[in-house]
Structure 1
Amino acid sequence: MEDCYAMAATLVNRTCYQKRTPVLNARKTSMTKALALYYHPSPPRLLRRKWKPDSSRIGINFRDFTYKELHEVTNGFSKIAVKRMEKVANQSEKTFMTELKIIGRTHHKNLVKLLGFCIDDNHFLLVYELMKNGALSDFLVKEGMLPTWSHKSEMALGVARGLLYLHEECDTPIIHCDIKPQNVLVDSKYNAKISDFGLSKLLKKDQTRTDTCARGTVGYLAPEWLKNAPITPKVDIFSFGVMLLEITCGRRHIELSRIEEEDEDEGGDDLLLINWAAGCMSSGRIDILARGDPEVLDEITRFERFIKVGLWCIHPDPILIPSMKIVTQMLEGTITVGVPLLMNQ
């Protein structure tokens, strides 16, 4: 119930039907060119109240805002996260509307929560909850405040559960198409939430694959993107596998500085993280990946399980990549993780 922000649920023949409040609601005024939406995860009530510069209203009442009003009520956007898109081309507007349409269908604690939007002249704004620890990409390498193994493992599980919801639990299956640390935000309690749905694809209820042009980020792209083949949710799982190895090992998927530091006695080619991880696992040197972290060494079995799951996710043959449900179960330790086939090739 809490994971999906559901207000009620019914159980019919072992199937759970969740009742929730979609955010596909808005109002438009004739006074301005602005269109804005705010919602609260309780049964919707549209209210018109005299506007006051009170940021506590954000996320509670529906209200029409201009860009100026929105800037003032949030004290210069200081209490929310705002994604800006300048209207410089039709593609910007298309990306904006895609993200609004996708995020409006979702309700899960591991997806960033949309608080509202504003369209005013050339200002295209998506207003999200403020995530104080910022993007996972910065948080993982921030000097002086690196996350603990406990935090990293829970963040990885959070992203996995968010993807499971998108792929298998959402009313309409969604392929994110750009899973990477930059698109995962971390709140003050180290909860990881998937964001940025501008490149996402909606599937029909019984649809398992779709044709689309290549999209995503180099380093996280599944092989089928490069083959112009129909894509499935497995492209997200491949990207998640790369990111899972980054979270677990505490380094980026590629580090050019390691070219001069390569040492064959430490697992071989470590320029690419996936090669380094696979090499260390094949040689039985999981301790190298742990980097002497005492917390990791105390949970070396769990750490090894996360590495194995990451390697399963990045198999070049999508047929052999496990579903997000199985990936989540493997991470949680409810099913056994076998030796990744990637290590034998």
Structure 2
Amino acid sequence: MLNGSLDSHLFKSNDAILNWSTRYQIILGVARGLSYLHLSCHECIIHCDIKPENILLDASFVPKVADFGMAAFVGRDFSRLLTTFRGTAGYLAPEWLCGVAITPKIDVYGFGMVLFQIISGKRNSPETFTSSSYDVEYFPVQAIDKLHRGDVQSLVDPHLHGEFDLEQAERVCKVACWCIQDNESDRPTMGEVVWVLEGLQEIDMPPMPRLLAAITAQADATSM
């Protein structure tokens, strides 16, 4: 994979900045790949560790989902799988942290977190972010707040200098916010995500997830 992993292009300044068209191609490609794993294989394959480091890019920046070392296989007669495996901090769905059986919706959650990073060109968490302390700069909090305010353009990577498709950016931001909803039943399937990204299905304004609402309230209380 001649262009390495996605993280090297998003977070390292020594690589050329990905333009918006390439970013959208990567988003759609990863969505289609996950949809195939979840819906079209003989058994449902849950990747369990979706993050930029596990998205490889070929010579044309076509993405390939990689590193299936944590992948779980779920027979079509079952809907959940209990596993002791855990993915990467920052991409873990709430139900996984609670120790309940997982579904493909944990990949949906991780995909949503990756979308925020593709939009902004930076990590979701500031350097000072820890598991016990949230900073007001936590990007998903900013994203859903500005989405509700109609200010998506300010969320897009400034290195693009305004050269992006605003309608697509709003669509990606909405999808990302739906993907990280606390309740897995509120998240779309990857098949539905593909339809939205392809412009074949409309999507409503997502509500603020309870976890992000709690982070916002904590940040407001700290600033008072």
Question: Would you call these one fold, judging by a TM-score over 0.5?
Answer: yes
Q: Take 2:168 and 2:136, find their aligned partners in 1: how far apart are those partners?
A: 22
Q: 2:4 is matched with which residue? A: 134
Q: 2:76 is matched with which residue? A: 205
Give per-residue Cα distances to partners, 1:18-43, cap 9 Å, x unaligned: xxxxxxxxxxxxxxxxxxxxxxxxxx
* AA aligned opposite 1:338: D
Conserved in 2, the CA contact under 8 Å of 1:256 and 1:271? no
1:243 positional shift: 0.2
Q: Take 2:152 and 2:171, find their aligned partners in 1: how far apart are those partners?
A: 11
Conserved in 2, the CA contact under 8 Å of 1:214 and 1:226? no
* AA aligned opposite 1:141: F
- Select which of 159, 176, 181 maps to 1:310: 176
Q: 1:163 is matched with which residue? A: 34
Structure with more of its chain in strand, by fraction: 1
Q: 2:206 is matched with which residue? A: 340
Conserved in 2, the CA contact under 8 Å of 1:312 and 1:342? no
* Helix, strand or coil at the partner of 2:188: coil
Q: Take 2:209 and 2:71, find their aligned partners in 1: how far apart are those partners?
A: 31
- Are positions 1:295 and 2:166 aligned together? no
1:141 positional shift: 2.6
Q: 2:196 is matched with which residue? A: 330
Q: Take 1:286 and 1:222, find their aligned partners in 2: how far apart are those partners?
A: 24
Q: Highest CA radius of gyration, 1 or 2?
A: 1
Q: 2:25 is matched with which residue? A: 154
**Cα distance change on mapping 1:284 and 1:343 into 2, 3 Å:** farther
Give per-residue Cα distances to partners, 1:237-288, cap 9 Å, x unaligned: 0000000111122111212279xxxxxxxxxx65212111112112222121
Conserved in 2, the CA contact under 8 Å of 1:282 and 1:343? no
- Are positions 1:249 and 2:117 aligned together? no
Q: 1:274 is matched with which residue? A: 140
Structure with more of its chain in helix, by fraction: 2
Q: Take 2:141 and 2:92, find their aligned partners in 1: how far apart are those partners?
A: 16
Q: Take 1:175 and 1:252, find their aligned partners in 2: how far apart are those partners?
A: 24
- Select which of 152, 161, 169 maps to 1:286: 152
**Cα distance change on mapping 1:315 and 1:285 into 2, 3 Å:** same
Q: Take 1:325 and 1:181, find their aligned partners in 2: how far apart are those partners?
A: 20
* Helix, strand or coil at the partner of 1:282: helix
* AA aligned opposite 2:3: N
Q: Take 1:139 and 1:171, find their aligned partners in 2: how far apart are those partners?
A: 34
Q: 1:176 is matched with which residue? A: 47
1:134 positional shift: 0.7
Unaligned residue ranges in structure 2 (runs of 5+): 130-134, 214-224
Give per-residue Cα distances to partners, 1:298-327, cap 9 Å, x unaligned: x11111110000000000110100111101
- Are positions 1:218 and 2:84 aligned together? no
Q: Take 2:205 and 2:146, find their aligned partners in 1: how far apart are those partners?
A: 13
**Cα distance change on mapping 1:187 and 1:255 into 2, 3 Å:** same
Q: Take 1:236 and 1:153, find their aligned partners in 2: how far apart are those partners?
A: 19
* AA aligned opposite 1:165: Y
Q: 2:221 is matched with which residue? A: none
Between the two proteins, the alignment pairs up a number of residues equal to 203
* AA aligned opposite 2:9: F
Q: 2:67 is matched with which residue? A: 196
Q: How does 1:40-59 map to 2 (within 5 A)?
A: none
Unaligned residue ranges in structure 1 (runs of 5+): 1-130, 259-268
**TM-score, with length taken from structure 2:** 0.85
* AA aligned opposite 1:168: L
Q: Take 1:219 and 1:141, find their aligned partners in 2: how far apart are those partners?
A: 15
1:166 positional shift: 0.3
* AA aligned opposite 2:185: I
1:225 positional shift: 1.0
**TM-score, with length taken from structure 1:** 0.56
* AA aligned opposite 2:187: I
1:337 positional shift: 1.3
1:140 positional shift: 1.5
Larger RCO (CA under 8 A, 6+ residues apart): 2
